[in-house]
Structures are given as structure tokens and as C-alpha cells.
Chain A
């Protein structure tokens, strides 16, 4: 771990480590079974940015029981970008696997949100030996069916790289605007305001990296991942959590995902919270933390 302990004001101090050649920011807190959180969002957007900071409420509450580990995915948050030509989900999944291996963790409880739900699931499918249980939160990226986030987030009315654009994006994602705190917006702004991040966004726009590199590779990986799910390869206790009012990933998609997984894995549960958009762990933090904690505490130890 790097000597410089910095990060986000809403999280415990973290630091950087080299993970597969990518300088990676992470923070860990607490003791007990490890719980690794994988944030959502995508790289290359100037309208808003995600990162480890979204898990602040989960870390604050669950670190009294578990060893919580949050990190920034490659090219997101405070983590460096991968080399050119490697802006793919394959890189991000491989990076998560490398991080878990490098930390020499016993099998972890993996929690992935949105695009991070895909990352966590794919990592579980590739390396079940590293994973004790899987929690998938509102992942339109993973679930079959039609995604609507690019519909609801189309053409933000505010300029990129501003707090206003960040807040606007979160307002589209969330059910209740009051759940979007200044601290949350500030963390996202902290990321998009970094010169390195801005430069990356501009370079990716110029190269059309998302359209020509990231999305085509993701489409191939997704097709394979869904076929693996249909084959029943996901053999870990799996919890699907969804916000009932998510405009960007409709609840019907959560049902489809649940059906695919539960067809083969008895230790599956679908948990839906009312009056919640795409961020149930922000809009209903106590509920989410209790749901996750109960699942982790019993996952895999017994089932009829």
C-alpha cells in the first residue's frame, strides 16, 4: 500500500497499490469475513463519475462486523486507466480477480452494483474459488432485456464536469431527490474535476473508445455470461437486490435475472425495495445494510 493515505472525505483513508500494472485506489476497514464492493458507472463520462465513495453508508455500518473492502475500478475514481487497447470489461473483471488474489483473501462476499454487478458476477463465474456469496444490485448491464439508462440520461441540460450535471444524473437515477446529498455530489465532482480524468474523457471521446472498443467487447462478454448463467454455472448463494422505481433498469429485468439464477441455484433470493431508484444502498441505506448483513450471515451455511 502506498504511504500516502488519502481518498474520499466520506470513506476511511485508503491508498494506492499496483494491481496487474494498474495503480489502484482502495480502502479497507473492519475485521471478519471480507466483503468486497464493486461500484457501477462507466469510464469516459464527463457528466458524472462513480467510484468507491458510493459505498460510504455500507462501509460505515458494516465494517463493525466485516472486513469491508472498496476500491476504484480501472479508469474510474482515483484509479489509473489501463493501457490503450484494454478498455474492456475483460480488463476490469481481471483486475478485480487480481485484487482479491493479491490481498490473499479467503473467499469473499462480493457485492456489485449496476455495471459492477456484471463485474462481480463474471468474476464469480470465472473464479468461484475466490467467492463465498454474490449480491447483485440493480444491474441492467448483467440482466437480459432492454436497458434504458441511455434513454433517461440522454443529453444532460448542464455542461459536463460540473456539480450541476452530476446532480442531474443522480436525480434521473434516484426515486427521491432528497436522497442525493451534497457529499455524494462532491465526491463525484472530485473525480471528474481531476485533470487526469478530464484528459482521459477527452481522449476517449476523440478515439470513440466506448463505442468502438468497450461496448462491442462487453456485448460479447455479456452473451457468454448469460449463456453461462442459463447453464447453471453460477453456483454460489446469490442475492438480487432491486429498486422498484428504477427507471434505468426496470424491475422486470431483476425478475429475469432472478429466474435465470434461481433455476439452478437454490440459495437465491430476490429482494425489492419500494420507493427506490437505481441506488437502493443510498436511498434506503439501513434497509440495504440489514439485508446484506442478514444474507452474508447465513449465505451458504444451510438450505433445505
Chain B
């Protein structure tokens, strides 16, 4: 993988969109970060993918800032919806010249990846990393790991706390990472998303929107099921998701008509691609080898 991946801004259907672009060509592995914009207790940024990107073997890697994070601007709450997020990802890929993709969704964004994988022929394979957005929640008790965050939110101290809570291995939480997270939080995209999500009615609508996307995913698994290879990569020490969540997700996806596999990574928390980047890369590189 050519290094370093360069942070750039793409004009995607008229909206500035932040990407980390490494390598070249029309075939790419596309990385979608977790954390719901304006809601997550850290400021999501494509910089979080760097340790993983360095270990990927795809001809090209494209990490995209979801609308309302990093370099991806929004104009109103409509831009934060799941539908608008999917449209932004598609527009970004088109501008970037990507015509064949493996789509990787971390956490909440796994549902974005899976919606793309369901119906877009350009998507040749998909991976779910710690699939908070796709794992069944049922009537389970909410995780307590992120209760009582340090305030003010998105300060360096607060984001250090969040990263620590979500990680198994704290050594990746460096001063450089915190500088990047604070910079992402200071950007206009994050700021705009946070302001919108402070409005209770918009926050409630966002919650309902992401839940509806998950329900669409469950229905799609039942029928018609997925036609592309799917890798589920799970962390053994995720404070937000039990291993059983992964088991059930694996079971739900067994309607998949192409290869479906499940990998369990030890000593990894919710940010498994930072805790164990080499182990996650191994799973994705296999998917690249078999698919792209």
C-alpha cells in the first residue's frame, strides 16, 4: 500500500467530502467509520483507519468521512440521514472513479455498508467490523461503557476517556491521535452535526432513522438475502457488543448465497482496527484476494 494515505476533500454532488485516499485504480476497499455523526462521544475521523490502511493489500483504499464528520460538510439535518449518508458515499465513489468496491462498515456504519452491498452491483463484497449498526439489540440491556463521559464533550480529556473505554489496548491512544480527534471536533462538519443533534426532536428522528435502517437490514437478510461475500469481524472484548451478538448476526446472515465467514479477534475492543490492525487486515485482505 503506497504511503502515506493523503487526506483530501472531494466535491461529492456539490458537498465537500473528506477522504483518505491510498493507492490507485478503480477497484478499492472502502472504509466507513463508526460513530453516529453529532452523537458519538468521539469525533469520528478517517485518521482512525491509518494503522489498518498501512496493512491492507487492496490496489486502493478509500476511507470516507461520513456527513457531519471530519471534512464532510452538511447543510441541514437531512444530510445526516442514513439515506443521505448512503447517497454521499455513492457520490464520493463515483467522483473518485471507484467502480468495484469492497465496503467495510465499522460499528454503526456497518448498516450503511450492508445497505450498499444489498443493491449496488459495484459492491463485490462487504465486511462488518464490530457491527453495532447491524447486530440485533432485542430487549438487551444497554451497554454502560460510555455512561457518564467526561465533560466538556469532545475535549482532549473527554475523547481520551472515550477511546480508553472503547479500546482493549490503550497504547494506540497517543498524543498525536488526540490532536487529530480534537481537530476533527473543531471542524465545521462535526460542529454543525452536534448543534443539530442538540435539538431533541432531531436527535429522536436520527435515532428512529438508524433503527429503521437496522430493521431494513434484518428484513433483507430474511429475504432476499445477500449475494456477495461477507466477512464478519468481531472483537472478543468489545464493551458495546457481546460475542453472542456476533453469533446471532452470523446466524441471521446465513441466508447469504456467497461465502460468509466470522472471525473472532482476541484482545480487541470496539476499536478492533486500532487494537489489532494486523488481525483485522488479515481478514480484509482475504476478502480482497477472493473478490476484487
Cβ–Cβ < 8 Å partners of A258 in chain B: 264, 266
Nearest B residue to A268, CB-CB? B266
B164 interface hit (Cβ, 8 Å): no
Q: Does A4 contact B (CB under 8 A)?
A: no
Find out whether the CB atom of B267 lies under 8 angstroms from the CB atom of A266.
Answer: yes
CB distance from B47 to the nearest CB of A (A): 17
A303 and B276 within 8 A (CB): yes
Most buried by B among A258, A303, A304: A304
A266-B286 contact in complex given A271-B261, A275-B260, A304-B171, C-beta closer than 8 Å? no
Q: Which of B115-123, B131-139, B277-285 contacts A (4 or more CB under 8 A)?
A: B277-285
Contacts of B277 in A (CB 8 A): 304
Secondary structure call for the A interface? mixed
Q: Residues of A contacting B254 with CB < 8 Å? A: 244, 274-275
**In the assembled complex, how far is the CB of residue B31 from the closest CB belonging to chain A, in whole angstroms?**
18
Determine the residue in chain A with the shortest Cβ distance to B289. A290
Chain A's interface size range is: 20 to 34
Closest residue on chain A to residue B279 by CB atoms: A269
15 A-B residue pairs with Cβ-Cβ distance under 8 Å, sorted by A, are A258-B264, A262-B267, A268-B266, A269-B279, A270-B264, A271-B262, A272-B250, A272-B264, A274-B254, A287-B261, A290-B289, A290-B290, A294-B285, A304-B171, A304-B275
Q: Does B39 have its Cβ within 8 Å of any Cβ on chain A?
A: no
Q: How large is the interface on B (under 10, 10 to 19, 20 to 34, 35 or more residues)?
A: 20 to 34
Q: Given A269-B282, A290-B286, A274 and B171 touching (CB < 8 A)?
A: no
Residues of A within 8 A of B (CB): 244, 255, 258, 262, 266, 268-275, 284, 286-287, 290-291, 293-295, 298, 302-304
Does the CB pair B260–A274 fall under 8 Å? Answer: yes
- Which of chain B's residues have a CB closer than 8 A to the CB of A262? 236, 266-267
Given A244-B250, A304-B277: A295 touches B282 (CB 8 Å cut-off): yes
Chain A hits for B282, CB < 8 A: 269, 294-295, 298
**Closest residue of A by beta carbon distance from B243:** A255
Segment 55-109 of B: residues with Cβ below 8 Å from A = none
Cβ–Cβ < 8 Å partners of A291 in chain B: 261, 286
Chain A residues near B281 (CB-CB < 8 A): 298
| Complex contact A270–B263 (CB within 8 A) | yes
Asked if B171 contacts A272 (CB within 8 A), the reply is no
> B265 on the interface (CB 8 Å rule)?
yes
The 10 closest A-B pairs by CB, nearest first: A262-B266, A274-B260, A270-B264, A272-B262, A290-B286, A294-B282, A273-B261, A294-B286, A290-B289, A271-B263
Question: A262 CA to B264 CA in the complex, in Å?
Answer: 10
| Residues in B neighbouring A287, C-beta threshold 8 A | 259, 261, 286, 290
Contacts of A244 in B (CB 8 A): 250, 254, 262
